[in-house]
Chains A and B, each alone.
Chain A
Amino acid sequence: MSIKYSEDHEWVDAKEDDLVVIGITDFAQEQLGDLVYVELPEVGDECTKGENISVIESVKAASDLVAPVSGSIIEVNSRLEDEPEIVTEDSMGEGWFIKVKLSDPAELDELMDEETYNTFIEE
């Protein structure tokens, strides 16, 4: 499956068995500037689409990471706690945030594909 994007500038990479990997886009990373701290949720936490699940602190300010889908958090990228700069260096890869087991896979259809997202950020 291809990667989907949210209006809050997250990417959602759908794997098998309703499992998705979530991170922030390059656009978001550039807007935030140098990251200094990432506060991650706990494994086992439930997330609900549209609710805050994580806080991203840049040199400038604190911003919320809004859940792009609902489900339970099965893994977090704890490397980010000590090395938030990997988000800046590789936001779409090594800088992923969380893995979520979807409770409602149909929510994926509400996200944008790459082309739509690229148009969205140009506006």
Chain B
Amino acid sequence: MSVGTEIRTTPFHKMHVNAGAKMVPFAGYEMPVSYPLGIKKEHNHTRESAGLFDVSHMGQIRLSGEHAMSALESLVPVDIVDLPLMRTRYALFTTENGGVLDDLMVTNLGDNDLFLVVNAACKEADYDHLKNHLGASCEIEFYDDLALLALQGPKAAMVLSEFAPSVKEMTFMTAKQTMLNDIDCFITRSGYTGEDGYEISVSAKDAESLASSLLSSEEVEWIGLGARDSLRLEAGLSLYGHELDISHSPVESSLNWALSKARRLGGEREGNYLGSKVIMNQIENGSDTKVVGLIPEGRMPVRDGAIIQDENGNQIGYVTSGGFGPTLNKPISIARLETKFTNSHSKIFALVREKKIAVEIVKLPFVKHNYYRG
């Protein structure tokens, strides 16, 4: 793989431009932030129908070798060894200090083959991390000839099953290799919107043809990165660089649900991953900070970086992501707070342009997940 300063494009670039997209630089790529429909309508379309997202900027990696599954366990606090065939699991690359290098999806392809999807902005670092730690025992292949599409929304299953009826039976976080319109595709039932849907990995040369077929359905519209962010925010899903970073552990980011039992204290394969001492201790004894949902009073969005204060004006945290939730029709934020304030009923405030906005702590997600679990 090559790392250049030159801005890259995905195989769908021409289609985005022809669709009238506003293109912006994002993680080294020129990506569509919105289409003529606009962020709000794109957001609502995804919640009501089916949205098509170009996420080809993300990294797609194959990790293989006789011990690939147990090898990967040395880098993630997640059960990979017992991941069933063609099942997908959410994981995190941790550091020696318990921080997070990236979050990723891992699918077991069978025969000691794993398929990883990592964040665009982290993919070079992830590749180096894998090479450094697993290069001697595993083969690591970075696919730069693959595109990735996400089809998300309550009508995604109906749309996709017109091309391959069997995808309807797939349940959340399972995978399948199948043909869509004579194009070989690797599909997982997953996504980043809180809605039912699929991510479809396809060779770059077939990418345009597949997208055109999907867009020929009346239910499907291109959706840009702007709506992708408001959708994931409402769904309470972490974004690397915001809720997750190198200086906070998964426990400090309220991702305990992603830490497998088998890797915790007393589990079948406890610890033995980077930062396991710190993380296992925090699972047992708690952490100083947590990530929570906030609903600001009024209509003003409280965006990332805003300081959170207690009644006496002491800083108790900061907003990691924030904006306006079109489905809720109100501003929503995610914040990192000192743990002792996350369950208290005292009033807390966000500072926006020197104004104090009262905020209410709420459970994530803001909008209920709509995954298909069979």
Binding site for B on A (CB under 8 A): 33-34, 36-37, 39, 55, 57-62, 81-82, 84
Q: Give the most central of A55, A57, A81: most B CB within 10 Å.
A: A57
Count of chain B residues with a beta carbon within 8 Å of a chain A beta carbon: 18
Which segment of B31-39, B51-59, B160-168, B209-217 sits at the interface?
A: B31-39
Q: How far is the CA of A3 from the CA of B33 in the complex (A)?
A: 33
User: Does B230 belong to the interface (CB within 8 Å)?
Assistant: yes
Contact B353 A57, beta carbon cutoff 8 Å: no
Give the residues in chain B near A84, CB-CB below 8 Å. Answer: 299
Contact B299 A37, beta carbon cutoff 8 Å: yes
Which segment of B63-71, B171-179, B323-331, B362-370 sits at the interface?
A: B323-331
Q: How far is the CA of A62 from the CA of B326 in the complex (A)?
A: 16
Q: How far is the CA of A121 from the CA of B301 in the complex (A)?
A: 29
- By beta carbon, the residue of chain A nearest B226 is A60
Given contacts A33-B40, A34-B39, A59-B39, 9 further A-B contacts (CB under 8 A): A33-B34, A36-B299, A36-B301, A37-B300, A37-B301, A57-B301, A59-B230, A60-B39, A82-B299
B-side binding surface: helix, strand, loop or mixed?
A: mixed
8 closest A-B pairs by beta carbon, nearest first, are A34-B40, A36-B324, A59-B39, A37-B299, A37-B300, A57-B301, A34-B38, A59-B324
Expressed in whole angstroms, the minimum distance between the Cβ of A9 and any Cβ of chain B is: 16
Q: How far is the CA of A35 from the CA of B116 in the complex (A)?
A: 37
Q: How far is the CA of A60 from the CA of B230 in the complex (A)?
A: 9
- By beta carbon, the residue of chain B nearest A57 is B301
Expressed in whole angstroms, the minimum distance between the Cβ of A70 and any Cβ of chain B is: 22
User: Does B303 belong to the interface (CB within 8 Å)?
Assistant: yes
Within 8 A of A (CB), among B297-314: 299-301, 303
Contact A60 B33, beta carbon cutoff 8 Å: yes
Q: Give the most central of A33, A39, A59, A62: most B CB within 10 Å.
A: A59
Q: How far is the CA of A70 from the CA of B239 in the complex (A)?
A: 43
12 sample A-B contacts, Cβ–Cβ < 8 Å, listed by A number = A33-B226, A34-B39, A37-B331, A55-B353, A57-B300, A59-B226, A59-B230, A59-B323, A59-B326, A60-B39, A60-B226, A62-B301
